[in-house]
């Protein structure tokens, strides 16, 4: 689950132009009534849906088909020094990923800190 810290937080408009993806956003805005809650949507080339993820939300997805193409527009440029992540399988978030035993997870995502630890570090 990726996001950017201030001064370069990003909103994202996400769509899939080929294949399909299970896409997730997590509210990481402390003080929000939905803090720590997540929402998901299936995006595909067939359903042509788009998913708006506002600033203050972490974002992640899993491809549901081989050769899936995920595209997004952002409200700010990528800034490596503002990059942050939350572990995809954090038990506090309890995201119901499809077929988690079959997922291929990058080292960077496997090593991401847990949700509350991430927020403590960002302060």
C-alpha 1/C-alpha 11 separation (Å) is: 14
Q: Over 80: is that where the pLDDT of 92 sits?
A: yes
**Burial (CB count within 10 angstroms: exposed 0-12, middle 13-18, buried 19+), residue 11:** middle
The domain in which residue 9 lies consists of 2-122
Q: What is the average pLDDT across 101-123? A: 81
CA torsion, ordered 5, 57, 25, 23, to nearest 10 deg: -40
Q: Do 26 and 58 touch, CB atoms closer than 8 A?
A: yes
Residue pLDDT, tens place only, 8-47: 999 999 999 999 999 999 999 999 999 999 999 999 999 9
Please report the pLDDT score of residue 120 as a whole number. Answer: 62
- Predicted TM-score (pTM) of the model is 0.90
CA-nearest of 51, 24, 55 to 37 is 24
Longest C-alpha distance within the chain, in Å? Answer: 41
Q: What is the CATH number of the domain that holds 80?
A: 2.60.120.10
The catalytic site residues sit at: 2, 72
What beta strand segments (E) does the chain contain? 2-4, 12-18, 20-27, 38-44, 50-53, 57-63, 69-74, 83-85
Overall number of domains in the chain: 1
């Amino acid at each position: 689950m990726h996001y950017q810290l201030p001064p370069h937080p990003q909103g994202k408009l996400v769509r899939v132009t080929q294949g399909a993806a299970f896409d997730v956003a997590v509210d990481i805005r402390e003080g929000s009534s939905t803090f720590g809650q997540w929402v998901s949507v299936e995006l595909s080339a067939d359903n042509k849906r788009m998913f708006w993820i506002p600033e203050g939300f972490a974002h992640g997805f899993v491809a549901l088909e081989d050769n899936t193409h995920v595209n997004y527009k952002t409200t700010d440029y990528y800034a490596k020094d503002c990059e942050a992540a939350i572990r995809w399988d954090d038990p506090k978030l309890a995201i119901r990923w499809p077929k988690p035993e079959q997922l291929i997870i990058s080292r960077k995502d496997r090593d991401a800190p847990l949700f509350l630890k991430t927020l403590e570090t960002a302060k």
